[in-house]
Chain A
Amino acid sequence: MRLVIAIVTMATVFLPVASADLVPSVALAEQNAAPAAAKDNRLRVPVEYYKLPNGLKVVLSRDQTTPTAVVAVYYNIGFRNEPKDRTGFAHLFEHMMFQGSANLGKMGFIRLVESNGGQLNGSTRFDFTNYYQVVPSNVLEPVLWAEADRMRSLDIDIENLKNQQEVVKNEVKVNVLNQPYGGFPWIDLPMTANENWYNAHNFYGDLAQLDAATVDEVRTFFKTFYAPNNAALVVTGDFSPEQVKAWIEKYFGSVPATKLPSTPDLKEPRQEKEKRAGRTDPLANRPAVGIAYHVPDRFTPEWYAFGLLDEALAQGSDSLLYDELVRKKGLTGGVNAGINFGLGSMFDYSGPMLWQAQFFHDSSVTSDGLLSAIDSIVEKVRKDGLDQSALDRARVKIRSDLYANLEQFVGWGRANLLASFALFDDDPSKINQLEEGFDKVTPALVQKTAQEYLRPGNRTVYVITPGKTGAPNEKEAR
Chain B
Amino acid sequence: MKSVIIPLLAVFALAPQQSTPPVSQQKPPSAGTPKDFVLPAARRFTLANGLPVTMVPFGQVPKATIRLVVAAGNVYEGKDEVWLADLTGNLMREGTTTQSADVVAQAFAGMGGELGISVGPDTTSITTEVLSERAADAVRLLADVAQRPRLPESELERVKGNLLRNLAIQKSSPQAVAQERFSKLLYGEHPYGRVFPSESSLKGYTLEQVRTFQRDHYGAARARLYVAGVFDAAPLEAAIKQSFEGWTGAKASEPPAAPASTGRQFAMIDRADAPQSTLMLGLRVPTASHKDWVALELTDAILGGAFASRITANIRELKGYAYSPFSTLEPHPGLASWFETADVTTGVTGASLKEIYFEIDRLRKEAPSAAELQGMKNNLAGLFIMQNASRAGVISRLNFADTHKLGPDYLSSFVKRLMAVTPEDVRRVATECLTPDKMSLVVVGDEKTVKSQVTQWAQ
Contact = CB atoms under 8 A, between A and B. Distances in A.
Whether both chains belong to one complex is answered with yes
Interface of A: 1-5, 7-10, 12, 21-31, 34-36, 65-68, 102-108, 110-112, 114-120, 134-142, 145-146, 162-171, 173-174, 177-181, 238, 283-286, 316-318, 322-323, 326-327, 330, 332-334, 360-362, 389, 392-393, 396-397, 399-400, 403-404, 406-407, 410, 468, 470-472, 474-478
B166 A333 contact: yes
Given A117-B379, A166-B321, A476-B268, A103 B26 contact: yes
Given A141-B32, A410-B389, A468-B172, A163 B12 contact: no
Interface string B338-358: 000101110000000000000
Contacts of A112: 16-18, 28
B17 A34 contact: no
12 contacts: A1-B119, A12-B323, A105-B19, A107-B317, A116-B382, A139-B16, A166-B319, A167-B317, A181-B169, A318-B106, A396-B110, A471-B168
B161 A26 contact: no
B274 A318 contact: no
B238 interface: no
Contact of B345 (A25, A173, A286): A173
Interface string B304-327: 001110001100111111111010
Contacts of A410: 386, 389-390
Contacts of B115: 317
A178 B25 contact: no
Contact of B174 (A135, A178, A389): A178
Contacts, number: 342
Contacts of A333: 161-162, 165-166
Nearest to B94: A327
Interface stretch (B54-62, B204-212, B425-433): B54-62
A327 B317 contact: no
Contact of A107 (B34, B168, B308, B386): B308
Nearest to B74: A2
Given A4-B175, A178-B276, A116 B16 contact: yes
A403 B59 CA distance: 12
B381 interface: yes
A400 B113 contact: yes
B111 A396 contact: yes
Contacts of A330: 158, 161
Contacts of B424: none
A403 B17 CA distance: 35
B303 interface: no
B12 A116 contact: yes
Interface string B146-177: 00000000000010011001101111111111
Nearest to B89: A1
Contacts of B132: 36
Nearest to B82: A2
Which one of A115, A180, A362 has the greatest number of beta carbons of chain B within 10 Å?
Answer: A115
Interface of B: 8, 11-12, 16-19, 21, 25-37, 59-63, 74, 86, 93, 101-102, 105-106, 108-115, 118-121, 129-132, 158, 161-162, 165-166, 168-177, 179, 181, 195, 199, 230, 266-271, 274-276, 306-308, 312-313, 316-324, 326, 341, 343-345, 374-376, 378-379, 381-383, 385-393, 396-397, 444, 447, 451, 458
A443 B378 CA distance: 53
Contacts of A1: 86, 118-119, 166
Given A146-B28, A285-B172, A471-B171, A318 B323 contact: no
B267 A68 contact: no
A31 B60 contact: yes
B172 A103 contact: no
Contacts of A316: 105, 108-109, 114
B324 A4 contact: no
Which one of A34, A361, A474 has the greatest number of beta carbons of chain B within 10 Å?
Answer: A474
B276 A173 contact: yes
Given A5-B179, A170-B276, A116 B31 contact: yes
Contact of B112 (A110, A168, A389, A396): A396
